[in-house]
Amino acid sequence: MIGGLGPSELLIIFAVLLLLFGASKLPELARSMGTSMGEFKKAQKESELSLKEFENSIKDAESESEKASRIEETALNLGIDTKDKSEDELLAEINEMLKK
């Protein structure tokens, strides 16, 4: 059984399709349905990949933010003035303090 359809139901559906479209149109109809399904699956995979890339970029941004706050916290703990200083400047000052 396919999705709750038995052999007799499938035979009736096939007969109706044959009457509606004719024998010559059925292969063309099946081909276009197959192409449509392939396009749908391709679009679905692309959107899933796009979503994963977006999630990864958010995680990267969060880790960058965490890194910046840890650098600033460390500088403050060492008594370094953090006002108007970049991360690189703070890291340089932290390294200088740790060398002493």
For the stretch 38-76, pLDDT in tens is 999 999 999 999 888 888 887 887 788 888 888 888 888
User: Residue 45 has what pLDDT?
Assistant: 94
Rounded Cα–Cα distance for residues 14 and 74 (Å): 73
User: Residue 1 has what pLDDT?
Assistant: 46
Q: Where are the domains of the chain?
A: 7-99
Task: Please report which confidence band the pLDDT of residue 78 belongs to, taking 50, 70 and 90 as the band edges.
Answer: confident
The alpha carbon of 43 is separated from its chain's Cα centroid by a whole number of angstroms, namely 12
* Structure-block tokens of residue 13: 């559906």
Rounded Cα–Cα distance for residues 87 and 94 (Å): 10
User: Residue 100 has what pLDDT?
Assistant: 66
Single-letter amino acid, residue 99: K
Task: Please report which confidence band the pLDDT of residue 3 belongs to, taking 50, 70 and 90 as the band edges.
Answer: low
